[in-house]
A and B are shown apart, each in its own frame.
Chain A
Amino acid sequence: MLIMSFKISKDDFQSAGEASSKIKKKLLQLGFPGSLIRRITIATYEAEMNLVIHSDGGTISAEIYPGSVCIVVSDVGPGIPDLNKAMQEGYSTASEQVREMGFGAGMGLPNMRNCASEFTIDSVIGKGTTIKMLIS
């Protein structure tokens, strides 16, 4: 197993995409099939954007196994008040400012779930959110 981990800061729009880009490069060298690389890259990028837009900062770690990748996204807050709503396509709490930039379409979490073979999300208000995705 290989582990890669990345620290993601709140509001750091410029660096968003670096983690998924680095993971993609590794997977290509490991010979992962294109369709799998694609799902993993999209899921990681959406996770990065979520951390940048909504969280107070967090980490993404990717555990790479032969043929599958487990991505763990965890942040230090603020937590999601209504998880059911947050998982709905099109539901977003992003600010007007963020939406004007073309983000916050309410597709982040649903997209991540669609890319993942197994998806779990836990959130505690004031503590933070943890997402685990197994993509195989």
Chain B
Amino acid sequence: MVSSDFHSVTLDKELCKGCTNCIKRCPTEAIRVREGKAKIIDERCIDCGECIRICPQHAKLAITDDLESIQNYQYPIAIPAPSLYAQFSVNVSINYILAGLQELGFYQVSEVAYGAEFVSRAINDFLQSNATPKPAISAACPAVLRLIQVKFPELINQVIPIKSPMETTAFLVREKMKKEGYPHEQVGIFFISPCAAKVTAVKHSLSSDASGVNGVIGISSIYGDLLHKIKNISNAPSIQKSTEAGMGWAITGGESRLVKKIRRLNVDGIANVNKVLEEVVMGKLKNIDFIEGLACTGGCVGGPLTVVNPFLAKERIYLRMGNKKGELPELPAYPNYRDLMWEKEVKPLGVLRLDEDIVLAMQKMESMEALQYNLPGLDCGSCGAPTCRALAEDIVRGQADEVDCLFKLRSKVTELAETMVELSKKLPPSLAKKE
């Protein structure tokens, strides 16, 4: 059993130099530098991967499963993210990519791009049959979902409670294997992932008691092997079931183009998503029907576990999609949107609150403001917190000290030195000369 504190994004202590790049970049202020090393505050981390991208020492990494782990199952099934297709030139047909995966040791391969088409249909059906407050917010990006849990509790009831394409694909695979008589526990489903947050979403599922996925393997960790396998395939079987509709989910806008609503926003980059969600809370965007928010630039093709740069990847997805208008293909009636709903409610985390007791929280807030007023306001990061405000917060939480601030320390030392000089001039009356 994996504890709820599990996070894919972790630190390689050997490599970390204790610089302040990551603490500044983290959207939930989840990192501090302590004893010369970065330390991730688990409850706050949303696994967006920003720190992985910014770290000049490559000390931040995402824990994923390795290819060997598929041997724990008699029937390992690969479910590749649509963004995998963007890692190869468009001359490599999708069937070759899928056959290459099979060659890596998987019993079968089933596309998440195909599962995504069911999700798109489910989103439309859900929005048609349920009156949700506007704008409805996509739940597809696990980092954005966590961001909402941490920073936007008031928006949780606007999130569309439909399983992600990954979970939907796992659901489809499980149903099919069950029908064909495969023993449930010997079927292992492995997501081939561009995304670190998906690892956490699988180990500690927010929307169900247990994820339908058994393991998550990063695209970057199998890319070299896969490339070699694909080169040696002379005739790939026809495995592809997805159309351009599902493939589009790899990039920003790919999901929203299939939502049958007039006013849709698509936003990428976690800082941008944060800003737009703030506007939602203010009621600025009440005329928008649907918001697709993705933590990575370019969408999932910009995930930290991809190989190709997100802009080229995006272009490749466009090429593979062709010049289509964005229509969903005919799909089997089952599973419908009710079958794909979340199995449990996603709740706000409340990790930012200063105290369980609101009166105490207010007292802490007051001392925090007083402390912040006396800090230099340079946000230099030398204390290990991202901003002076964050240091003030850490102090009232009992996790830091005022003299952790170098400027405060310096002025205290100066004061002390002056006092010492003063004292050194003093003589006991028995020795003092009359002036």
Which residues of A are at the interface with B, using a C-beta cutoff of 8 A?
1-2, 17, 20-21, 24, 26, 28-35, 37-38, 41-42, 44-46, 64, 66-67, 111
The answer for the CA separation of A14 and B283 in the assembled complex, in Å, is 16
The answer for the CA separation of A2 and B348 in the assembled complex, in Å, is 24
Which residues of B are at the interface with A, using a C-beta cutoff of 8 A?
151, 153-156, 278-279, 281-284, 348, 350, 352-356, 358-359, 361-362, 365-366, 369, 393
A20 contact set on B, CB distance < 8 A: 282
User: With A31-B355, A37-B154 in contact, do A26 and B282 touch (Cβ < 8 Å)?
Assistant: no
Q: List 23 A-B contacts (CB under 8 A).
A: A2-B362, A17-B279, A24-B278, A26-B365, A28-B151, A28-B353, A29-B352, A29-B361, A29-B365, A30-B358, A30-B362, A31-B354, A33-B153, A34-B153, A34-B156, A37-B154, A37-B281, A42-B281, A46-B283, A66-B358, A66-B359, A67-B358, A111-B283
Contact A42 B352 (CB under 8 A): no
Pick from A21, A30, A37, A64: contact of B354, CB below 8 A. Answer: A30
The answer for the CA separation of A17 and B279 in the assembled complex, in Å, is 8
Chain A: CB-nearest residue to B151? A28
A44 contact set on B, CB distance < 8 A: 282
Contact A28 B352 (CB under 8 A): yes
The answer for the CA separation of A63 and B281 in the assembled complex, in Å, is 20
Chain A: CB-nearest residue to B281? A41
B369 contact set on A, CB distance < 8 A: 2
A32 contact set on B, CB distance < 8 A: 358
Chain A: CB-nearest residue to B354? A29
The answer for the CA separation of A24 and B354 in the assembled complex, in Å, is 14
The answer for the CA separation of A33 and B157 in the assembled complex, in Å, is 13
B355 contact set on A, CB distance < 8 A: 31
The answer for the CA separation of A41 and B156 in the assembled complex, in Å, is 16
The answer for the CA separation of A41 and B152 in the assembled complex, in Å, is 12
The answer for the CA separation of A37 and B356 in the assembled complex, in Å, is 17
Contact A34 B282 (CB under 8 A): no
The answer for the CA separation of A38 and B282 in the assembled complex, in Å, is 7
B393 contact set on A, CB distance < 8 A: 29
B353 contact set on A, CB distance < 8 A: 28-31
Pick from A29, A34, A66, A67: contact of B348, CB below 8 A. Answer: A34
Besides A2-B365, A33-B153, 14 other A-B contacts (C-beta < 8 A): A28-B153, A28-B352, A28-B353, A30-B353, A30-B361, A31-B353, A34-B155, A37-B153, A37-B154, A38-B281, A41-B154, A41-B281, A46-B283, A67-B358
Smallest distance from the beta carbon of A129 to chain B beta carbons, Å? Answer: 21
- Chain A binding surface SS class: helix
Smallest distance from the beta carbon of B28 to chain A beta carbons, Å? Answer: 11
Smallest distance from the beta carbon of B245 to chain A beta carbons, Å? Answer: 32
Smallest distance from the beta carbon of A4 to chain B beta carbons, Å? Answer: 9
Chain A: CB-nearest residue to B283? A42
The interface centre, meaning the residue of A29, A41, A64 with most chain B CB atoms within 10 A of its CB, is A29
A33 contact set on B, CB distance < 8 A: 153
B151 contact set on A, CB distance < 8 A: 28
Chain B: CB-nearest residue to A102? B287
The answer for the CA separation of A17 and B285 in the assembled complex, in Å, is 13
The interface centre, meaning the residue of B156, B284, B350, B356 with most chain A CB atoms within 10 A of its CB, is B284
Contact A66 B278 (CB under 8 A): no
The answer for the CA separation of A24 and B282 in the assembled complex, in Å, is 9
User: With A2-B365, A34-B156, A35-B154 in contact, do A45 and B359 touch (Cβ < 8 Å)?
Assistant: no
Contact B365 A45 (CB under 8 A): no
Smallest distance from the beta carbon of B150 to chain A beta carbons, Å? Answer: 9
Pairs A-B, 5 closest by C-beta atoms:
A34-B154, A31-B353, A45-B282, A34-B153, A38-B154
The answer for the CA separation of A29 and B358 in the assembled complex, in Å, is 9
User: With A30-B354, A31-B356, A34-B153 in contact, do A64 and B362 touch (Cβ < 8 Å)?
Assistant: yes
User: With A28-B353, A29-B354 in contact, do A17 and B153 touch (Cβ < 8 Å)?
Assistant: no
B153 contact set on A, CB distance < 8 A: 28, 33-34, 37
Chain B: CB-nearest residue to A67? B358
Pick from B284, B354, B358, B366: contact of A17, CB below 8 A. Answer: B284
A37 contact set on B, CB distance < 8 A: 153-154, 281
Chain B: CB-nearest residue to A111? B283
The answer for the CA separation of A45 and B285 in the assembled complex, in Å, is 12
Chain B: CB-nearest residue to A65? B362
Chain B: CB-nearest residue to A30? B361
Pick from A28, A42, A46, A66: contact of B362, CB below 8 A. Answer: A66
Smallest distance from the beta carbon of A73 to chain B beta carbons, Å? Answer: 15
Smallest distance from the beta carbon of A37 to chain B beta carbons, Å? Answer: 5
B350 contact set on A, CB distance < 8 A: 31
Pick from B156, B278, B358, B365: contact of A21, CB below 8 A. Answer: B278
Pick from A2, A24, A29, A64: contact of B281, CB below 8 A. Answer: A24
The answer for the CA separation of A20 and B282 in the assembled complex, in Å, is 7
